[in-house]
């Protein structure tokens, strides 16, 4: 099998072409693009029993490498029980910001000096004391700055909000959500039309409990539309409960996009009308019990990828008619797929299967790979399977990913 993997990898490497910068979908448009195919996959990892330190894993994803598909190293975060979650590059792609949902720690990691062996260059031990907010979720690069969303206030209750920092971690300003729409989650900017949209999840008081004890009404159903330059709230839009990812159309100037409602098992379409105001509409039903945890795009804006955490499948939706998606393909990568990351050329998607330690039901954790054909259909790679149960500290929950 190893010989077959190497032959497959070499053939695959020969098909890859360097050249123009690769526009990774779902990253901030301000992040510097890769000049060629990815070599490393960074994965945020939660120690499964919360007894050992959490870490950042570095996976070799260069098919020509002798260590392709293996964990090269881990970056020890120096503490346990943090629940490291999402991550984001700074605009110059030299650092990764990674925060935690249970502790108050935030880590800034250098990936420029040696991408294969990242180094923590700064730890903020109490981001809550600094901002008055808890549970940083989205790390969104702005020119010379990082915009972070937070799920809660300092006491673990709503409202959540946003905070802006310099790239080296100096706080600039804080924005709390309005009383009428206190829940927060994701954020995404469409610079050409000067709009920022944020979404809504649930606060620490809820997500810190086992899923069976969650109050399913303690969550948002709103998207907030902001004047990006002024950071001024303009509109509150309504969707099914718990809209998660905000995905603007990747086409220049287009003023529409999509979100996935986790508790509505649905895709929602948002768009700007002729009067300049935005509206929402349900665009597709994903099937009862789907729990769409992540939403990604193809670089050509033709397809949306939805991870159905509870149904253990990934759905591909054709959005060539943006407000009327059509189910195009389904693949089953394993139990409870969650986070996805699409390569800049749109030919590969990496997948993990941990959502939150309070929600996971899988017994094993992994990173897997599916190839995306020119017809938009998915085919799982039988050779790429990074087992996250065999680290020296034991099993770990693989969550968010970044490519470098």
**Tens digit of each residue's pLDDT (9 = 90 or more) over 123-166:** 999 999 999 999 999 999 999 999 999 999 999 999 999 999 99
Is residue 338 within 8 A of residue 291, CB to CB? The reply is no
pLDDT at position 18 is 37
Position 201 scores a pLDDT of 98
Contact present, 404 and 38 (Cβ < 8 Å) = yes
* Residue 169, φ and ψ in degrees, nearest 5: 100, 15
The hierarchical CATH code for the domain 2-290 is 2.130.10.10
Return the percentage of the chain with pLDDT > 90, whole number: 94
What is the pLDDT at residue 153?
Answer: 98
- Give the pLDDT confidence score for residue 22 in this predicted structure: 75
Q: What is the mean pLDDT of residues 299-327?
A: 98
Residue 383: per-residue pLDDT? 95
Beta strands in 30-115 (DSSP E): 40-47, 55-60, 71-76, 84-89, 95-100, 106-110
Q: How confident is the model at residue 8 (pLDDT cuts 50, 70, 90)?
A: very low
The pLDDT assigned to 24 comes to 87
Residues contacting 105, CB < 8 A, separation 6+: 77, 79, 82, 99, 123, 124, 125, 126, 127
Q: Encode pLDDT of 178-234 as tens digits.
A: 999 999 999 999 999 999 999 999 999 999 999 999 999 999 999 999 999 999 999
Does residue 125 sit in helix, strand or coil?
Answer: coil
Give the pLDDT confidence score for residue 283 in this predicted structure: 98
pLDDT at 23 (0 to 100) = 72
**3-class DSSP state for residue 284?**
strand
């Amino acid at each position: 099998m190893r010989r077959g993997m190497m032959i497959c990898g070499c053939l695959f490497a020969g098909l890859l072409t360097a050249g123009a910068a690769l526009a990774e979908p779902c990253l901030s448009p301000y992040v510097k693009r890769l000049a060629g195919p990815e070599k490393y996959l960074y994965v945020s990892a939660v120690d499964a029993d919360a007894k050992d330190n959490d870490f950042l894993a570095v996976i070799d994803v260069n098919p020509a490498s002798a260590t392709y598909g293996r964990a090269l190293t881990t970056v020890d975060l120096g503490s346990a029980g943090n629940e490291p979650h999402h991550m984001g590059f700074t605009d110059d792609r030299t650092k990764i910001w990674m925060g935690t949902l249970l502790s108050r720690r935030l880590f800034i990691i250098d990936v420029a000096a040696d991408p294969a062996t990242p180094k923590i260059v700064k730890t903020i031990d109490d981001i809550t004391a600094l901002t008055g907010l808890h549970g940083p979720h989205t790390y969104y690069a702005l020119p010379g700055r990082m915009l972070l969303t937070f799920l809660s206030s300092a006491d673990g209750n709503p409202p959540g909000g946003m905070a802006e920092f310099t790239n080296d971690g100096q706080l600039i300003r804080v924005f709390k959500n309005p009383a009428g729409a206190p829940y927060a989650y994701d954020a995404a900017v469409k610079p050409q039309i000067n709009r920022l949209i944020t979404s809504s999840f649930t606060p620490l008081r809820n997500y810190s409990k086992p899923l069976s004890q969650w109050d399913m009404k303690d969550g948002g159903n709103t998207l907030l539309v902001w004047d990006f330059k002024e950071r001024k709230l303009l509109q509150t839009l309504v969707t099914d409960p718990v809209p998660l990812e905000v995905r603007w159309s990747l086409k220049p100037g287009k003023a529409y996009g999509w979100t996935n409602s986790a508790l509505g098992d649905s895709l929602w379409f948002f768009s700007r009308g002729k009067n300049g105001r935005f509206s929402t509409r349900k665009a597709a039903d994903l099937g009862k019990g789907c729990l769409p945890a992540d939403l990604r795009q193809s670089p050509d804006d033709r397809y949306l990828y939805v991870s159905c955490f509870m149904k253990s499948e990934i759905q591909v939706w054709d959005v060539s008619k943006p407000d009327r998606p059509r189910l195009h393909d389904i693949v089953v990568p394993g139990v409870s797929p969650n986070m996805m990351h699409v390569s800049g050329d749109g030919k590969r998607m990496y997948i993990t299967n941990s959502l939150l330690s309070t929600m996971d039901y899988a017994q094993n954790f992994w990173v897997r790979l599916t190839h995306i054909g020119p017809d938009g259909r998915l085919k799982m790679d039988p050779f790429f399977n990074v087992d996250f149960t065999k680290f020296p500290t034991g099993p770990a929950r693989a969550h968010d990913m970044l490519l470098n």
